[in-house]
Every structure is written in structure tokens, then in C-alpha cells.
């Protein structure tokens, strides 16, 4: 594989999910699906997804700007710019931007499994679906992920 991917500041695939923007920088197609990379921009005073756990991929968050709160189980970590949070499979987690300024995070998925979640969530909302907790849980389940309220149910594998 000799293809190189260079994504400029205005490149990538942008997915707007309410006050959160995900810009997919690498969807796995260049890396043999070993890693997916996105840039998340959280508007001020924005909650992230429901607390959830992944069964088949690690997730990394590097705070580029702003301050993000990562909640892992019952512990909240205040993460200013320059902080890296690595979430292994099985660890319940979520994040939020309680501050007055936007927060930007570089987000990694190894392997790239979870990139499809953002596309499916966008498509569900564009098709008139409401992002209710049950609807979000259904989309998560397609990517070996379950919400914290549903840890007894084993996550489904990728279709």
C-alpha cells in the first residue's frame, strides 16, 4: 500500500450532530482499517454521548483546545488542552465541555470500527429519527458498543 492521505484544514468529511461537529480525517481506508481519526469540536456547555463502553476498539482523545471533562465510570477527569485520554475496550466513559469556549479534540479509534457510528447517527437524524437514548443505543450496538445503562447486554459485532 503506497497511497498517502493528506487532509488539509478544510478537508475531511464533516458530520454535524447538534452542537457537536465530527470531522473525519481518516476513516480507515488508507490504514487498512487499523486506525480511524476524527476531530471533534464541542460547543460551549455541551454534553457528549451517553456514558458507554466499546468491546472491540480503543479510543483516544487529545485535547487540542479548551477544557474537556472525561467521566470514566464515576470518576471525572478535568482535561485542559494538551491532555491525552486513552480509553481501553470495556471502560465506561463519556465527555463534556462545561466551559464557555469551544473545545477541540483529536479522536482516534483503533481499529477504525467506530467511524461508521457517526455516519449512521447522522443518517438517522437526517431521515427524521430522533436521537433518543434508545435510538442512540441502537446505533451504538452496530459497532460493538453499549450504553452504561445496558452493560449486561453483550455488544453486537460489526454487521
Q: What 3 state SS string does 88-128 have?
A: CCCCCEEEEECCCCCEEEEEEEECHHHHHHHHHHHHHHHCC
pLDDT at residue 156 in the model: 47
Question: Could you tell me if residue 156 is inside a domain?
Answer: no
pLDDT at residue 114 in the model: 93
Evaluate whether 53 touches 32 at the Cβ level (below 8 Å).
no
Question: Could you tell me if residue 157 is inside a domain?
Answer: no
Question: Could you tell me if residue 3 is inside a domain?
Answer: no
| Cα distance from N-terminal residue to C-terminal residue, the chain | 26
Domain that holds residue 108: 13-146
By C-alpha distance, which of 20, 31, 18, 23 is closest to 7? 23
Backbone φ and ψ for 141, nearest 5 degrees, come out as -65, -20
pLDDT, tens digit (0-9, with 9 covering 90-100), for 96-112: 999 999 999 999 999 99
By C-alpha distance, which of 3, 20, 136, 112 is closest to 60? 112
DSSP state of 1: -
User: If DSSP codes are grouped into helix, strand and coil, which group holds residue 68?
Assistant: strand
88: domain CATH number is 2.60.120.10
Question: Could you tell me if residue 6 is inside a domain?
Answer: no
pLDDT at residue 157 in the model: 40
Question: Could you tell me if residue 53 is inside a domain?
Answer: yes
Give the chain's largest Cα–Cα span.
44
Question: Could you tell me if residue 133 is inside a domain?
Answer: yes
Residues paired with 13 in a beta bridge: 24
pLDDT at residue 154 in the model: 45
Question: Could you tell me if residue 55 is inside a domain?
Answer: yes
- Compute, in degrees rounded to 10, the torsion defined by CA atoms 144, 83, 19, 43: 170
Q: What is the mean pLDDT of the chain?
A: 91
DSSP state of 71: E
Q: What is the domain count for the chain?
A: 1
Given strand 103-110, what is the order of strands in its sheet?
13-17, 20-26, 36-42, 103-110, 58-65, 84-87
Residues of the chain with pLDDT under 70: 1, 150-159
Amino acid at each position: 500500500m503506497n497511497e498517502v492521505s493528506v487532509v488539509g484544514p478544510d478537508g475531511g468529511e464533516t458530520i454535524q450532530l447538534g452542537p457537536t461537529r465530527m470531522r473525519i480525517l481518516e476513516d480507515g481506508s488508507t490504514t487498512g482499517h487499523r486506525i480511524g481519526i476524527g476531530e471533534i469540536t464541542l460547543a460551549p456547555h455541551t454534553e457528549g454521548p451517553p456514558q458507554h463502553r466499546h468491546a472491540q476498539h480503543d479510543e483516544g482523545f487529545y485535547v487540542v483546545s479548551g477544557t474537556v471533562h472525561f467521566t470514566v465510570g464515576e470518576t471525572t477527569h478535568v482535561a485542559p488542552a494538551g491532555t491525552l485520554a486513552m480509553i481501553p475496550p470495556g471502560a465506561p466513559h463519556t465527555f463534556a465541555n462545561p466551559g464557555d469556549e469551544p473545545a477541540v479534540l483529536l479522536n482516534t479509534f483503533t481499529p477504525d470500527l467506530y467511524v461508521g457510528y457517526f455516519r449512521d447517527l447522522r443518517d438517522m437524524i437526517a431521515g427524521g429519527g430522533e436521537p433518543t437514548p434508545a435510538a442512540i443505543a441502537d446505533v451504538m450496538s452496530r459497532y460493538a458498543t453499549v450504553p452504561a445503562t445496558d452493560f449486561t447486554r453483550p455488544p453486537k459485532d460489526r454487521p
